[in-house]
Amino acid sequence: MSQGFSTRAVHAGAAPDPVTGSRAQPIHQTSSFVFKDADHASKLFALQEFGDIYTRIGNPTCSALEARIADLEGGAMGVATASGHAAQLLAFHVLMAPGCKIVAAKQLYGGSVNQLSHAFKKFGWSVEFVDTGDLAAVEAAMDDTVRVVYTESVANPGGGITDMAAIADIAHRHGVPYMVDNTMASPYLCRPLEHGADIVVHSLTKFIGGHGNSIGGMIIDGGRFDWKAAGDKFPTLTEPQSFYNDLVFSDGFGALPLGPDGAEIDIAFAIAARAFSLRDLGPALSPFNAFMIMTGCETLPLRMDKHCQNARAVAAFLKTHDKVSWVRYAGLPDDEQYELAQKYCPKGTGGVFTFGLKGGHAAGVKLVASVALFSHLANIGDTRSLIIHPSSTTHSQLSEDAKAAAGAAPDTVRLSVGIEDAADIIADLSQALDQI
């Protein structure tokens, strides 16, 4: 029987422990696992049998979290990682090779822009940033070296909504997958796989964990992209791999009867991300953090409803304030992206948005120094209300043009509205604005 989202947020991927009867997911705080015998060990190392070997590659606590998030996103399989950046690294590592290109949205989190622009250069990967609101520009960036198109569902910090179905069409016409960072929306508000995405990544640190106490990331394989049809673009998946006895991932894991009622699903990408990229690069999620994030996930629907409710109230207040020049929140009916938000995020557009101060950079610095209830820090998705001036912090390494393109101009302030009483959140902003 099909279950609702709130039920699955509590139960998916977990069951009472068969040994102890523990109802909460146990924390398997161990580095490694005992094999039944030599044959069992051999099959695990050859990927002929599923099971745990070493916590860098997999762990039962992490596996439960992987199953839960994959279920909530509607994907085939998840791979947990140490952080959102680690999830991006591993996902791209499977797809890319020296000389290949990523087509990415200009409207990305500043840390992602830095990772793609600088760290990935050392692998010989290039990136072309485009305005994903301009579909012609996305199309123009596509060439024979492109291996993936990458956007956020809801952009950080600007809060812009991506027309994912249109971007997916472009990526698929060129025979490459579409990858979406769904951190800002969470699967409660948006499920990119339903709009044409092939791979979803998350910083679990944010809304899914939700309490600002644990770092984690996740890759979700949608299980729908035809890797073989892409020809020689993805040799990690379609050519024999000597480090696994010439295994071809797309053959070995391309049609397994693991879906509902034995339906065949493709988990080749997820297995490669784990058995190749995670195994060798090593950014594994700790079992304790997996436990903490699973606990947070249980209240995701409740929190997201409150985040959205509060954010709408705060955004409406700021729209009327004489020291505020603009507010960008797609959840407001008069926002230019409201209709797009209703298509992709009908339950709400989240708790994060930006606004501009008439006093520019100096006013932004003064505001973040004057709040009391808000915490001035570099995170989003906490139960607490958070504030930051992106131009001087998260996006400070970017050029002025790149800051503007990413929605982090000097006058911009980003809020992550928490689940406190809306009246108290507004009162704190009001007194801080009075001090400018």
The rounded radius of gyration (Å) of the Cα atoms in the chain is 22
Whether the per-residue pLDDT at 283 is higher than 90: the answer is yes
Rounded to an integer, what distance in angstroms lies between the CA atom of residue 394 and that of residue 163? 25
Domains in the chain: boundaries: 5-296, 300-434
Nearest CA-CA partner of 421 in 265, 293, 343, 310: 310
Number of CB atoms found within 10 A of residue 141's CB = 19
Residue 410, preceding peptide bond in cis (omega within 30° of 0): no
Cβ partners under 8 Å of residue 264, min gap 6: 255, 256, 257, 258
Rounded to an integer, what distance in angstroms lies between the CA atom of residue 411 and that of residue 365? 9
Whether the per-residue pLDDT at 397 is higher than 80: the answer is no
Whether the per-residue pLDDT at 406 is higher than 80: the answer is no
Whether the per-residue pLDDT at 129 is higher than 70: the answer is yes
Q: Specify the pLDDT at position 404.
A: 76
Give the SS3 label for residue 320: coil
- What's CA 132's distance to the chain center, in Å? 17
Contacts for 375-379 with beta carbons within 8 Å, 24 or more apart? 379/205, 379/206, 379/212, 379/416
pLDDT of 359-391, one tens digit each? 998 999 999 999 999 999 999 999 999 999 988
Residue 283, preceding peptide bond in cis (omega within 30° of 0): no
Q: Specify the pLDDT at position 405.
A: 72
With cut-offs at 50, 70 and 90, classify the pLDDT of residue 1. Answer: low
Task: Kindly report the pTM of this predicted structure.
Answer: 0.95
Cβ partners under 8 Å of residue 126, min gap 6: 99, 100, 101, 102, 145
Q: Specify the pLDDT at position 394.
A: 72
Mean pLDDT of the chain: 95
Please state the rounded mean pLDDT for residues 120-129: 98
| Portion of the chain with pLDDT greater than 90, in percent | 89
pLDDT of 139-158, one tens digit each? 999 999 999 999 999 998 88
Superfamily covering domain 300-434: Aspartate Aminotransferase, domain 1 (3.90.1150.10)
Rounded to an integer, what distance in angstroms lies between the CA atom of residue 115 and that of residue 92? 11
Architecture of domain 5-296: 3-Layer(aba) Sandwich (3.40)
- What's CA 374's distance to the chain center, in Å? 24
Neighbouring-strand partners of residue 314: none
- Greater confidence (70 vs 391) lies with 70
* Contact assessment for residue 205 and residue 178, using Cβ atoms and an 8 Å cutoff: no
Please state the rounded mean pLDDT for residues 176-203: 98
One-letter identity of residue 408: A
Nearest CA-CA partner of 293 in 420, 206, 220, 405: 206
* Contact assessment for residue 375 and residue 349, using Cβ atoms and an 8 Å cutoff: no
Q: Specify the pLDDT at position 124.
A: 98
